[in-house]
């Protein structure tokens, strides 16, 4: 799982680079390969296979048009070097060489673009809950593990919130599962609208959600969570139900090592202590 996290973080870091800058960097790599190919030919065999590196990078990290443009540029550069191998200029041979290289590089580009599309789709399926568009439990654990380690390293607090919908079963029983699904989707949308950049909402299953609040101590968490709960009650009022929200919030002070499983267990216990007593309230604890 750690390898998957590192790979996804690597992809995200590259995807965050400005596409124009990334295009220039990849094009410079292609030009460097062309230069090496040009100065070593005919002393060394052609560098045709090396052109695949910038072609693949472009297809994986850039959009369609610049990726195909990079593939065509590689074909032209390779054909220029090929022409040096000929004793006399031969338009037919040079044209055939350029055509063959274009077919190869464009085909590779197409396949890599389809691969990236498939990977993005699988990533979304694995990390986004279909109904609520919140993150999945698996995604939550991967991201929060990384954030927890960063929190301890830099000594900034974080808060983990567990939330359960009270009386939600009555909605499914009396109004149907479709109405229940609509209520869950509305609840998730309302929570996300109250979060900041860097915060994370995940659906743990059924009517249970987890919220990760980065750089948030207990006092800040109280303000954010109270506002979210109030917004939730207002958002579901049109559903005409008795649904309320029980929450447990644990603030990690980053003063000692901790695991995400420990924080989840503490927040879960805090939530159920509310659910088994008053309901529709928040319990705050520190860890």
Which one of the listed residues 37, 97, 164, 207 is annotated catalytic? Answer: 207
63 is a catalytic site residue: no
Q: Which of 98, 97, 30 is nearest to 59 (CA)?
A: 30
Contact predicate 94/84, CB 8 Å: no
Q: Which of 262, 157, 280 is nearest to 220 (CA)?
A: 157
Q: Which residues are catalytic?
A: 207
């Amino acid at each position: 799982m750690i390898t998957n996290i590192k790979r996804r973080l690597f992809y995200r870091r590259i995807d965050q680079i400005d596409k124009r800058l990334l295009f220039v960097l990849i094009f410079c790599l292609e030009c460097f390969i062309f230069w090496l190919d040009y100065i070593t030919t005919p002393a060394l065999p052609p560098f045709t296979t090396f052109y695949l590196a910038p072609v693949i990078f472009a297809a994986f990290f850039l959009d369609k048009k610049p990726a195909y443009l990079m593939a065509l540029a590689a074909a032209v550069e390779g054909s220029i070097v090929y022409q040096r191998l000929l004793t006399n200029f031969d338009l037919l041979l040079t044209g055939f060489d350029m055509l063959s290289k274009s077919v190869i590089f464009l085909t590779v580009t197409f396949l890599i673009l389809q691969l990236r599309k498939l990977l993005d789709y699988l990533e979304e399926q694995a990390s986004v809950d279909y109904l609520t568009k919140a993150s999945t439990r698996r995604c939550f654990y991967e991201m929060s593990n990384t954030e927890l380690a960063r929190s301890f390293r830099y000594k900034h607090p974080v808060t983990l919130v567990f939330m359960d919908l009270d009386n939600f079963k009555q909605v499914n029983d009396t109004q149907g599962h479709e109405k229940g699904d609509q209520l869950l989707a509305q609840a998730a949308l309302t929570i996300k609208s109250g979060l900041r950049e860097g915060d994370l909402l995940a659906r743990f299953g059924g009517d249970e959600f987890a919220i990760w609040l980065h750089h948030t101590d207990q006092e800040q968490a109280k303000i954010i969570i109270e506002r979210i709960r109030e917004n939730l009650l207002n958002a579901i009022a049109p559903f005409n139900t008795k649904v309320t929200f029980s929450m447990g919030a644990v603030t990690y002070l980053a003063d000692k090592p901790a695991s995400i499983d420990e924080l989840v267990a503490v927040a879960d216990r805090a939530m159920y202590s509310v659910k088994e007593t008053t309901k529709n309230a928040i319990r705050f604890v520190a860890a």
